[in-house]
Structures are given as structure tokens and as C-alpha cells.
Amino acid sequence: IDAKKTEQTALKKQIAKLEEEIGKMDQAATKAKKQRKKTNDLYKEASSDLSKTRKAVKQCIKALEDAGEATSLVQNKVKGVLALVESSVSEDQRQTLQQFTEPVDVAAMGDRKAHVKKYSFKSGNVIELLKQLALKFEDDLVQVEKEETNSLNAYDLAKDARDNSKKAEIGR
């Protein structure tokens, strides 16, 4: 009877220790789950922002290519894109876009051909710049998706490891 009581006491201590370890694993799982949700929310926000910006840039490119001589509407679209991408462009790129949005002064009436040539030249530079930005935002979107995939895979691996460790502890 004394041997069984000693064994019972030892088993109770082991059970308490295992319960404590399982509790710690559950806390770690809860913390990891919360962190995963935060990471996923940030991914969704960044992905949405990049997608909207890329779409706005592509619409602006199309508007510039289709605009012909209707500069004021296109200049407003470029202003909108400039506001979206201002933190993502170099100073030279920002200045090119900003210069395009400023009205073109025509020195004398009847000088329409010179005005149109100047506009075409400016819009060509802006179109190329916007195409480069569209590619940059597509690359950024791919990078964000890769990072999200890696984050999800790391979370799943850690979760599987915790679950396997918990099963091993319970099985002892």
C-alpha cells in the first residue's frame, strides 16, 4: 500500500507538471494565433493598397494614351496617382509627375502645333514613368504575397510542432 501511495504521489506530480507544460503550449498557441491574425490583417491592407494603386496607375496610363489633347482631365488623374505614389517614387519621378500636372502656358494664340508637340513629349515621359511605377507596384504586390505565404507556412509549421509536442506530452 505504501509503494502504491508513493507511486500515486509521483504520478500526481508528473500530471501537474504535464498540465503546466500543456498550459504553456496553449498560451503559446493563443499568442501565435493572435500574431498570425495581425500579420494577415497587415497583409490584406498592404495588398489592397498596392492593388488599388496599381489599378489607378494603369487607369492613368490608359487615360494618357487615349487623351490626345484633353489635358486637364488627364492632369487631374495624374494628380490623383501622384497623391497615391508620392512616398514610393524618387524625387525626379515626383517632379516629372508634378510638372505634368501643372497647366501648360501657350505663349501666343494660334501656336497650337507647338503646344501639342510639347504636350505629347511631356505625356510620353509621364506614360513611361507610370509604366515603370505600375511594374514596381506589381513586383511589390508579388513580394507581399510571398511574405504572406512564408508567414502562413511558418505559422503552420510551428502549430504542427506545438500540436505534436502536446500529443507526445499527453501520451507519456
Cβ neighbours for 145, distance < 8 A, ≥ 6 positions apart: 47
Contact yes or no for 28/162 (Cβ under 8 A): yes
For the segment 41-61, the average pLDDT, to the nearest whole number, is 89
Q: Which of 38, 131, 136 is nearest to 87 (CA)?
A: 136
d(CA 32, CA 39) in angstroms, rounded, equals 10
| More reliable by pLDDT, 113 or 63 | 63
Q: Is the pLDDT of residue 3 over 50?
A: yes
Least trusted range by pLDDT, from 42-51, 112-121, 122-131: 112-121
pLDDT for the residue 80: 73
Contact yes or no for 119/101 (Cβ under 8 A): no
State the pTM of this model.
Answer: 0.63
Q: What angle, 0 to 180 degrees and rounded to 10, lies between the N-to-C axes of helices 91-101 and 71-85?
A: 150
| Sign of the CA dihedral with 68 first, then 70, 75, and 77 last | negative
Q: Is the pLDDT of residue 66 over 90?
A: no
d(CA 40, CA 168) in angstroms, rounded, equals 30
* pLDDT tens track for 69-117: 555 666 667 777 777 677 777 777 777 777 766 655 555 455 555 555 4
Q: Which of 148, 159, 161, 165 is nearest to 33 (CA)?
A: 159
Contact yes or no for 64/127 (Cβ under 8 A): yes
Least trusted range by pLDDT, from 15-19, 47-51, 69-73, 94-98: 69-73
Cβ neighbours for 99, distance < 8 A, ≥ 6 positions apart: 122
| More reliable by pLDDT, 76 or 29 | 29
Contact yes or no for 61/87 (Cβ under 8 A): no
Q: What integer best gives the mean pLDDT of the chain?
A: 80
Contact yes or no for 100/149 (Cβ under 8 A): no
